[in-house]
A and B are shown apart, each in its own frame.
Chain A
Amino acid sequence: MSNQDKKIRKPLSRKVRNGITAALVTGLSLAILILFLIPLFYGIVTALKTDAQFSQIGAPWWPATEAQFEFEGDTYPVYLVPMEDGSIRDMALVVPGRQESQFVDIENPEEGLITWQGSWRALDRDWEFDPQWGNFREAWDTINFPRLLWNTIKYAGITTFGAVFSSALVAYGFARFRFPKKNVLFMLMLSTVILPGAVTLIPTYFVYLQLGWVGTWLPLMIPAFFGWGTNVFLIRQFIMSIPLDLDEAAMMDGASPIRIFISIILPQAVPALTAVSLFHFFWAWNDYFNPLIYLVGHPEKFPITIGLTAFNNLYSGQTNLIQAASLISAVIPVIIFFFAQRIFMQGVVITGVEK
């Protein structure tokens, strides 16, 4: 009997134990996640507040305005008034007085004026939930978001095309051909990834200045068309995993390497090309230093990053608008990420872990 009991209880208790562990570990993850995302909640909530709410003492943490009540043609502020029976009623202050004041109950205004003993100044205001969606509209217009967005898309789009196409060519060269000093060249290419950009900056700036290109998009776009270290690496890894059979068959048929690259390699490398395009697109989307240097004094050409910084400097007092503008700038990347997260994460893994 007792033996049988043990047999039944043991697997059950293990199941329960596992369940408790799972609940604890998941709960821990959830707690960390909530802490991690607090700034985002803060940003959303703050973006929906009025300017006035920041300076008001006793204002709630959520977007709200002080309640008002219309009574006999005038508007009066609403207070939380403790009544003699212990309840708290929302009442509008009609006739304020030092010792006693006259209120009207906003739920039954037909009751007329109610006299309340005590100092109305000690009462708390009644706040009502009132999100200011118009802040997003205002931030959008003030920052001229459509223009920033168009500039950013143009910059990110053109450089992505250039960087991915040229990197695919170079990657094909590294993946499929044997030539002397290939490894030295490959190492040299990888080392450009960790080279601090500053060391080449001043002479290139000097040349662009002589060419009259400072203040235009050209210095930001042209270098992208000459291969890009991390992109080459990622695409090369992928091409090396494509079987050689098709290349060889095409070569037998007399196809040139250019032909093979266009009709065999590129179509098969689409997953890698997509990942690299996404990476590069958001790298350019985030780029701050280069536009700062080359586009200074040309606000009509600013991308989102620089536009947002300029906005922050001009409107530093208006926290709600700054939060709204920041969130607007984050919407597009976050949405694309949710749709393409698998491609993203795989790409990160290839550049980060594989050799």
Chain B
Amino acid sequence: MTVLDAARSLKTEAKEPMTEARKKEARWGLFFLSPWMIGFLLFYLLPMIASFVFSLLRYTPAVPEDTVFIGLANWERALFVDREVLLSFTRTLHFAAISLPISLFFALFLAILLNSKNVIGKALFRTLFYMPSMIPLVATVLIWNGVLNEQTGWINIIIEQLTGIQATGTQGLRWLADPNLVYYAYTMFGLWGVGNAMIIFLAGLQGVPTELYEAAEIDGASWLTRLFRITIPMITSVIFYQLVLGVIGSLQYFLAPFVLNAGTGFPQGMTRFYMVYFYKQSFSFFNMGYGATLAWLMFIVSLILTIVLFGTAKYWVYYAAEERK
């Protein structure tokens, strides 16, 4: 939405001849922008171009004299030879397809719940639901790693106590060792970071004009109708923003598999996500030419995904600002 807005205002940029005063103003403006412009050049633009050049080389920092120009060989390897590239990317998408809907739904659910006038002590609830977001991610992963332990973790013990199904032990729910469960376990780690999305959804909910609800109530609309016909359509722009950030973020998912298994992909390679594979190639095997290729591929993929998401936006995202014009 921020980017969309900027794009929209591009068209309205005024074209008028510059006076002396305007030139001076522009010079001052660029002066204040200069830290960012230098930084953009040094830390974004030039490295991106250089990264592409690196992708055409065979380069290992340990033996720099071995550096050779190998043309598109790295690209060929990444796209057609190295099956792990596609596999790790598929795993990343698979994980995102599980974790993103669950975490977005949970954030929205909490926001709707805590926006209800029926909850006593809303402020305290918000604080407590937000609080785990402040715990360093590494600590979050380690705490969950303990509570999901198949033998001594409380989750399995509680499930066993409540349902009587054997959940502990090697025959039970091996959250972090069973390839079918590990993505759900990682999704649970992510739920502790629900705070930001919850607060943003809450602000979105509070921005929905109350007249709409009053009108609907007069028409006798039920709570569910109001939720699906008013609330959710009115906050699609917020959902969209969270979705874009979530997709981009999950492509770069790295921390949990690295903290728990040092990137070995345990169990059965399921957690060797794209970013983990990129790290392995670049900083464990020091195949930096190939690493640069993988990085560029990720850039291209996230660019395509972003464009696709923005393309779908006009079919389902509602911007209140457009109505006002």
Contact = CB atoms under 8 A, between A and B. Distances in A.
Interface of A: 18, 21-22, 24-26, 28-29, 32-33, 36-43, 46, 54, 61, 166, 169-170, 172-174, 176-180, 182-192, 194-206, 209, 223, 225-227, 232-233, 257, 261, 282, 285-286, 288-289, 292-293, 296, 304-305, 308-309, 312-313, 319, 322-323, 325-327, 329-330, 333-334, 336-338, 341, 344-345, 348-349, 352-353, 355
Contacts of A189: 36, 40
B39 interface: yes
Contact of A173 (B1, B6, B32, B282): B32
B142 A312 contact: yes
A348 B143 contact: no
Interface in B63-109: none
Interface stretch (B44-52, B169-177, B214-222, B226-234): B44-52
A18 B282 CA distance: 61
B56 interface: no
Nearest to B299: A199
A345 B199 contact: yes
Contacts of A198: 252, 275, 278, 294-295, 298-299
Contact of A178 (B26, B35, B39, B204): B26
Question: How many B residues are at the interface, by size bracket?
Answer: 35 or more
B210 interface: no
A38 B158 CA distance: 10
B268 interface: no
A205 B291 CA distance: 12
B146 A173 contact: no
B125 A203 contact: no
Contacts of B147: 38-39, 42-43
A18 to B, nearest CB: 8
B142 A322 contact: yes
Nearest to A311: B142
A329 B282 contact: no
23 contacts: A33-B125, A38-B155, A39-B144, A42-B153, A170-B32, A173-B33, A178-B22, A179-B29, A182-B13, A183-B9, A196-B295, A201-B295, A202-B288, A223-B43, A227-B39, A232-B36, A285-B136, A288-B138, A305-B137, A308-B142, A319-B149, A323-B142, A329-B136
A257 B28 contact: yes
Contacts of A203: 46-47, 50-51, 53-54, 292
A38 B148 CA distance: 11
A204 B51 CA distance: 9
Contact of B244 (A166, A174, A194): A194
B119 A22 contact: yes
B224 interface: no
Contacts of B61: 206, 209
Contact of A29 (B2, B119, B130, B262): B119
Contacts of B143: 39-40, 42-43, 323, 326-327
Interface string B246-268: 00100110110011001000000
